[in-house]
Amino acid sequence: MRPKIYLFGDSITEASFADGGWGSSLANHFSRTADVVLRGYSGYNTRWALKVKEKVLHPSESSRSPAAVLVFFGANDACIPDRSSAFQHVPLEEYKQNLHAIVAFLKKQWPSSCILLITPPPIDEAARLLHPLSDNSSGLSERTNEAAGNYSKACLAVASECGVAAVDLWTKMQQFPGWQKAYLVDGLHLTEKGSKVLFEEVVARLKEEGISLESLPVDQPLLSDIDAEDPLKSFENCYLRYEGGGMR
């Protein structure tokens, strides 16, 4: 069976299979080597993720451990507690504890899987004021870039403490001039350019963890490996591992 790569996160994950999304780019990238499985839930924070993790990441869905599980929460946890999206807020220390619990759950259920934590993205506060989730009588952004940065640092700390991989999206995106408009649709969700940044970071980090087009077996013989004189012969031992365009 093909290995799987799970994407577990909030709306930035749920929307990742849209045109030009980072999830659809991953699915295309691994199209002959792994199945990319979407488990994104708009508005969710780590507190809610803990409530559903057994239902949405159930071992019966895969007869073996997936190649990787990407965990992408924090943008909602980081909502400011006294503003319009306060119901989504999770205190920083609880956020860390929740991430620890999610990682522990994944390690116990799928011991051989690569776990990759992704930090929340940076926030364009001016743009968030133009796209409020609900009535915003305070006139203040429900998220701030400073808070997102604090949760990003917490996410990276958990990755280090748990010995798992991480992508620092918050820092990476802010290295680009004009990131607010070029990489964010509404001050929070990713544009195609923003998705490309995340896609490239994820592919690079997975490769460091040994998960790449070069390391994963290709599903069924490649066209380039099929003998034009005797095509069916190539399928006689198709259980053999295909890798890098050749058969072993």
Helix, strand, coil tally for the chain in percent (to 5): 45, 10, 45
pLDDT in tens, 85-100: 889 999 999 999 999 9
Q: What is the pLDDT of residue 64?
A: 82
pLDDT score for 248: 32
Q: What pLDDT digit, counting tens, does each position of 4-22 carry?
A: 999 999 999 999 999 999 9
- The fold of the 4-216 domain, in CATH, is Rossmann fold (3.40.50)
**Cβ distance 98 to 90 under 8 Å?**
yes
Please report the pLDDT score of residue 146 as a whole number: 97
Full-model pTM:
0.91
Q: How many CA atoms lie within 13 A of 29 on its CB side?
A: 23
Closest by CA to 66, choosing from 108, 29, 110, 33, is 110
Catalytic residue list: 11, 186, 189
**pLDDT tens digits, the chain, 248 residues: what are they?**
789 999 999 999 999 999 999 999 999 999 999 999 999 999 999 999 999 999 999 887 656 899 999 999 999 999 999 888 889 999 999 999 999 999 999 999 999 999 999 999 999 999 998 877 766 666 688 899 999 999 999 999 999 999 999 999 999 999 999 999 999 999 999 999 999 999 999 999 999 999 999 999 888 888 888 888 888 888 886 644 433 333 33
**The predicted structure's pLDDT at residue 134:** 64
Rounded distance between C-alpha atoms, residue 169 and residue 202, angstroms: 10
Tens digits of per-residue pLDDT, 121-158?
999 999 998 877 766 666 688 899 999 999 999 999 99
Provide the residue ranges of all domains of the chain, joining segments of one domain with +.
Answer: 4-216, 221-248
Distance CA 225, CA 65 (A): 29
Per-residue confidence (pLDDT) for residue 16, from 0 to 100? 98
Say what the pLDDT of residue 61 is.
63
